[in-house]
Each structure stands twice: as structure tokens, then as C-alpha cells.
Amino acid sequence: MLYLYLKALHIIFVVTWFAGLFYNVRLFIYHAEALEKEEPEKSILSNQCKIMSARLWQIITWPSAILTLIFGLSLLHQYLGNIPKWLIFKLILLLGLYVYHFLSYLIHRQLQKNLYRFTSTQLRIWNEVATLFLFSIVFLVILRDALNMIWGVVGLIGLSVLLMIAIKAYKKLRQRNSENN
């Protein structure tokens, strides 16, 4: 029964961690777009994005990432001595997700110091990286075999292409709307 409680807590903190990652990078996008505004709107929006992002990192994103790791490690004991192949792939993806988390935090720190290195379009693409990790990990955990993993990779590549097309289409739509206003 303890295993099920640990698993439930692990899933809950995975969900809150992803929520924090998705919304933080969305705040980075809004922050980059605020820089295109005129004063005083530019300063007001920029400062608000900084406050919201800092709170989100401190209250949700970091604690959720740490608790996800703790509860995930607590579930590994059932596989001691016989780690299945799908779990090895999941751990590799999780390592990539933690790298994404740390890189996103570095972007946050740069924005807090008024260092703007990315456009809103670049940040939109960065935002979709978390989506790719989410899809990869969930499909891997649910499907758990090599053939389905191959189809999952093919689907992931297709999803990546669709996301890039959607980002480009949205950018064109925004440009058209700004030209009409």
C-alpha cells in the first residue's frame, strides 16, 4: 500500500513540476514581448513578469522538481537488481528534463538581471521542449516495449514538426494582426 501512496505523490509532483516549467517559460515569452512595448508599459510588465516568475520558481517549480526526484527514487527499490530497459530510457529522459529545468532556471536568472538573450519566438520553441519531454516520458511509461518506443519516437518527431509549424503560423498571424492595427 505504501508503494501506491508514493506513486500517487510522485505523479502529483510531476504534474505540478511540469505546470511550473510550462508557465515559467510562458512568462519568459511575455517578458520578452514586454521589451517591445513603450515606457512605462515596458517597465511595468517587465517587473511584473520578474515577480511572477520568481515566485513560481520558489513556490512551485523547484519544490516540485525536488519532490518528484525524492518520490521517484523511493519507487526504484522495486527494480533493484533487475532494471527494465524502458526504465533506463525513462531515467535518461529524466536526466534531459532536469537539464532543461536547470537551463530554464538560468534563463530566469538572466531575465531577473535584465539580460535579454532570446526573442519571444526562440522562447516559444524552448517552451515546446518540455512538451516533447512530457510526451516521451508518458508514452514510454505506459507502452514499455521497444517496438512501441520506436513508434513513439516517430510520433515524437511528427509532434515536433507540428509544433514548429504551429509556432511559425502563430508568428505570422501575430505579425499580420500587428500590421492591421
Distance CA(9)–CA(97), nearest Å, equals 19
* Coil/strand/helix, residue 38: coil
Query: Is residue 90 annotated as involved in ligand binding?
Result: yes
Which amino acid does the sequence have at 18?
F
Longest alpha-carbon distance in the chain? 64
Query: Is residue 7 annotated as involved in ligand binding?
Result: no
Q: Which residues, including other chains, have CB under 8 Å from residue 10's CB and lie 6 or more apart?
A: 68, 71, 72, 74, 75
Residue 144 CA, chain-centre distance (Å), reads 23
Q: Which residues, including other chains, have CB under 8 Å from residue 108's CB and lie 6 or more apart?
A: 24, 28, 53, 54, 57
Distance CA(103)–CA(33), nearest Å, equals 20
Contact 3, 75 (CB under 8 A): yes
- Cell 509532483, residue? 13
Where is the binding site for heme, in residues? Answer: 10, 90
Where is the binding site, in residues? Answer: 10, 90
